[in-house]
Structure 1
Amino acid sequence: MAYTNDAVLSKLSALNESHESIASTAQWIMFHRRHAATSVQLWLAKLKELPSSKKLNMIYLANEVTQQSKARHKEDFLQAFSPYIAEATTLAYTGANADIQNKLRRVVDVWRDRNIFDRQIQDAMEAKLDEIDKARSTNKVGAFGGSRSMFASSASLTPSLPAELTPLVAPAQNLSKSTPNMKTAINTANTEFDKLVDPANPPPAPPVQAARLSGLLKTLAMAENLVSESMKNRKELVSALEKILATNKEALATEEVHFNELTTRKAVIEAKKQEVELAILGGNNSIKEQTPGDRMSCSPVPEPERPQVEALTPPHVQNHHEDDIYGDLGNPQNGNDANAAPPPVFQQERQFPSATSGIEILSDLASHYQTMPLNGSSKKRKLGTSNDEVFPDLGADDGIDADVAEMLRKDS
């Protein structure tokens, strides 16, 4: 079939998900590699028109063409797909279900592992896919009330991995990614091989048979590459496991030495404990075997002498202040002189009005004054015949001020 735009669109419209359809279409497009740029533009235009389920087939076709070109060192289609592959992958990824998105992710991972496209193109493509995933997760959170706890990923719920198992993560992840593609490629290659070599099937025409053989060779080569990649990942995983195994064997040997040492020490301590217990039991038996006479003959233990205790009551100290106050009369508190006169009792000073006469003042004082001996004398004296007041003898000058005496003289 001659190369025309309609022929290319016809091939793309007839494309299905079977490997045979994808491989035959890729061979026809690669045969006309001189029109690589036109074929890629028509491919992108057709991809935009197809639904999500059909867009995956277009990505598979691009994968077949680019990988075959890379293997044959033909750069025509690699250069033609590079400007559009990120956009095409994003279009196929947007709005697709989880199964299709996972398949697209596996194709993108294969491109990265085999360096099909430049690193910048690969990074840009993966960044766009990550943005779509992030936007989808944000929309889910908003739709369900902003709670992330119920929709958290399984990785966030997984407990932290021990440090010694960290080297196993990368090989295990690579192996898990490559295994599904490898199994699919092996099944496809085996199926096509059985069909082609089955003697029950009549041989086709030589040109058709040559094309089928060529397609089978490519299928076998792809399966071989996937198996080789899986073997590489598995060898890395086995190597990491062997290192962990060697480390754990060394740790186990050290722990066994510690275990034997602790067991030996435990046995020694148990034997010593039994020896001490037997010694204690032997001492008790020897005490019980003593006769009563032996016990009575034992001299009692002498009691220790009582310690000398200093008296707590201090001796009496003479109060010299009392001697200064009482003099030869003795201290009334000690009871030395029972006949000693009591101390004088002083009455509170009385207040008188300013208009009171001297006689009235003296009369009032005399009525409240206690009779007491002064200077050893107890004589009394009359001050006047009119009042018959009796006053104590106050001494030679009677203890009266000159002003008071003058007042008394005038009143008399």
Structure 2
Amino acid sequence: MSFSSEQFVSRLNNLQDSQESIAGSSKWLLSQHRDAPQIAKSWRAYMLRTDINTRRKLLGIYLVNHVVQQATTQKIGNFQECFNDTIEEVLITTYAEFPTDIRKKIARVVGIWKQRGIFSRATVDKVLASFERTDKSTPAKSGSTGGSSNSKLTPESKPVVDSLSKIAKLHHTVHALKTRFDNSVNELDEKSMVYNENYKTVSKIGAMVKDNIAISIKERKHLVEVLNKLIADQNKHIDADEIIVNEINFAIEAKDPALINNTANDDNILPTYEDDNDDDDDDSDSDSDDDNAKTAVNKGNAPISVGLSALEQLAQANARGDLKRTSSNSEDNETASKKLKSGNSPEQEEYDIEDQDVDDDSNGDNNVTSSIQDLLSKLAN
């Protein structure tokens, strides 16, 4: 299969900081050893791009380190020769971009090249001398591999940032493994003598992809939990802040001079009420009613309840009249008995009693009528 610069750049963009990812891309490059000059040229162009971050460039250096060391072990000399001049230009040009921690990692890799004789001694010495001059003239900025620092993160946001960092790494790993799996599947040849071995390799790659996806899903769920907790905490803070704002508004409104002056003016406008003669009239009416009741009692009549209706009072008066007539009849009966004892005939006595009853009844009726008239006159008053 011929070398593809686009495919090589895609591998560089999806490369992960893991032995497995770097080894897989290195194996693919070694299979393209006939195109080593083109590979070195593409790598140089990628490393000198200004839109590539320092982490990507560090992984590119790691990839070249793995390729040239494997090429030395497998007696493939094209890579050492093609990268000898390219590595010098790239490292000297890009070294100033890296922060302190990445500079240390790059210097350690170049030291390994010098120790193992991977590149020519002149090339390695030039690179190391350039590193020393750059360190003195251009102090490196402190920072992590990604070029940012988490030292200023709040305790609440740090778990989110850490989780996002893990997810980003897993995402690149999964993407790289999936690309490797797709390429391996496409390269499977059922007629090949080593088809069974290649199939086992593809199955292992597929299993690695699924394992990394499972880890990624777990980490994303954890991030969702952290974010939900963070959202709940922020909602509580919002409610507390709104309460404080309402308290401030209430206090300011209560002390507003304009409102205080208006309240004082309202108090001055309120009317002053004085006692009138209505209560005296009511009291005189009640006193008059009490006097009438007392007069009725003094006259021997039962007191009349003011709250009773006219019909009820008439009924009571009628009842009192009947009582008087009954008592009068009892007295007449006693008189009749005395006359019987005196010798009058029963018929004569009976006649006298009947006459007397008629008179008494008429007197009783007159008394009832008089009581009713008195009652009506009182009600009218």
Range of TM-score over shorter length: 0.3 to 0.5
**Larger of the two Rg values belongs to structure:** 1
TM-score (norm 1): 0.34
Q: Which is helix-richer, 1 or 2? A: 2
TM-score (norm 2): 0.36
